[in-house]
């Protein structure tokens, strides 16, 4: 079953035919909200709003471990697509663009980032050379084609701590690191998915130019972001819809 984790601008999936909601507890505490089960087309899908259904949980306080545990170990999800809003740095990552990143640089700190916490469990160092599932990334790209939506394939995602946005100098430094877009929730989510051995990929929605870039030269203007996000999240939903067509119903 496909799991979709929705970020800012995607607190529900309009194309999900909802059958039930379930509150789940995990050994790591409570997920961001009840899991929403339903179907898109013929495909069973489980959805979770990363920041809570009222969008009250900031990125550094999201219980990433509980969220992934609930989706994988309690709901039985076999693959996870994260939909997340980001700021664009690379020239082609302008507001409204949909991007399927292939790499991550992690700038977050102080988050619960592993299921391996010592005690009786042996230490495990998971391989994270390629942080996203290549197969699921390619399915997302092909699903976008099926849905007739343009996506940019390949980008380096920088996970920043938030909840504040970056300074212009931080974005300059992050760009020198080779990062193309920034968001606040990509880590430790991707690493935890790898620890659970579940295919995970991200569909990023560029909400704004990153600090100091494009029309964010003097400030990031939130009044513009809402409309951009709403329209682009509609296209992201279409891509998820594409992923739920017969061509991609392998799991």
Q: Tell which one of 82, 85, 108, 180 touches ligand HPA (CB under 6 A).
A: 85
Site for ligand HPA, residues 87 to 146, rule: CB under 6 A: 87
Cβ-based nearer residue to ligand HPA, 101 or 241: 101
Residue 82: helix, strand or coil by DSSP?
strand
Number of residues that bind ligand HPA (CB under 6 A): 12
Q: For the CB of residue 74, give the shortest distance to ligand HPA in the complex, in Å.
A: 28
List the one residue from 147, 210, 232, 243 that touches ligand HPA (CB under 6 A). 210
Task: Categorise residue 65: left if φ over 0, alpha if ψ from -120 to 50, beta otherwise.
Answer: alpha
Q: Considering beta carbons, is residue 45 or 174 the nearer one to ligand HPA?
A: 174
CB count in 10 Å sphere of residue 24: 18
Residues 159-198 that bind ligand HPA (CB under 6 A): 160, 165-166, 182-184
Binding-residue pattern over the window 40 to 79 for ligand HPA, x denoting contact by CB under 6 A? ----------------------------------------
Host H or E run for residue 238: helix 222-243
**Residue of this chain nearest to ligand HPA (CB atom):** 87
Cα dihedral sign, 131-133-134-138 = negative
Q: How far is the CB of 72 from ligand HPA (least distance, A)?
A: 25
Buried b vs exposed e over 199-219: b needs ≥16 C-beta within 10 Å?
bbbbbbbbbbbbbbbeebeee
- Residue 126 beta carbon to ligand HPA: minimum distance, rounded to whole angstroms: 25
In terms of Cα–Cα distance, which of 176, 179, 182, 181 is closest to 160? 182
Q: Is 192 helix (H, G, I), strand (E, B) or coil?
A: helix
When the beta carbons of 86 and 144 are compared against ligand HPA, the nearer one is 86
**Residue of 98, 208, 235, 238 interacting with ligand HPA (CB under 6 A):** 208
**CB atoms near residue 18 (< 10 Å):** 13
Cβ distance to ligand HPA smaller for residue 133 or 208: 208
CA-based angle 34:13:89, to the nearest 5?
105
Q: Whole-angstrom Cα distance, residue 31 to residue 70?
A: 7
Q: Cβ 158 to ligand HPA, closest distance in Å? A: 8
CA angle at 140 for the pair 180 and 162, rounded to the nearest 5°? 40
Using the contact rule CB under 6 A, the part of the chain among 60-68, 104-112, 129-137, 207-215 near ligand HPA is 207-215
Site residues, ligand HPA (CB under 6 A): 85-87, 160, 165-166, 182-184, 207-208, 210
């Amino acid at each position: 079953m496909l799991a979709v984790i929705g970020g800012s601008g995607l607190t529900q999936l309009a194309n999900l035919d909802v059958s039930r909601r379930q509150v789940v507890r995990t050994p790591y505490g409570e997920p961001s909200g009840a899991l929403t089960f339903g179907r898109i087309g013929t495909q069973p899908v489980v959805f979770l709003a990363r920041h809570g259904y009222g969008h009250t949980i900031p990125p550094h306080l999201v219980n990433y471990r509980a969220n992934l545990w609930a989706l994988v170990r309690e709901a039985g999800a076999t693959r996870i697509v994260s939909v997340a809003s980001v700021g664009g740095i690379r020239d082609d990552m302008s507001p409204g663009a949909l991007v399927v990143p292939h790499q991550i640089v992690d700038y977050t700190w102080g988050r619960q980032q592993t299921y391996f916490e010592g005690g009786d469990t042996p230490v495990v160092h998971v391989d994270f050379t390629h942080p996203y599932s290549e197969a699921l990334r390619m399915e997302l790209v092909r699903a976008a084609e099926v849905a007739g939506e343009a996506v940019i394939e390949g980008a380096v995602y920088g996970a920043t701590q938030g909840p504040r946005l970056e300074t212009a100098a931080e974005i300059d430094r992050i760009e020198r690191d080779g990062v193309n877009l920034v968001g606040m929730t990509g880590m430790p989510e991707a690493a935890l998915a790898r620890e659970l051995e579940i295919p995970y990929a991200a569909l990023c929605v560029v909400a704004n130019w990153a600090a100091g870039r494009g029309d964010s030269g003097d400030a990031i203007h939130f009044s513009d972001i809402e409309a951009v996000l709403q329209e682009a999240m509609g296209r992201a939903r279409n891509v998820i819809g594409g992923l739920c067509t017969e061509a991609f119903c392998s799991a």
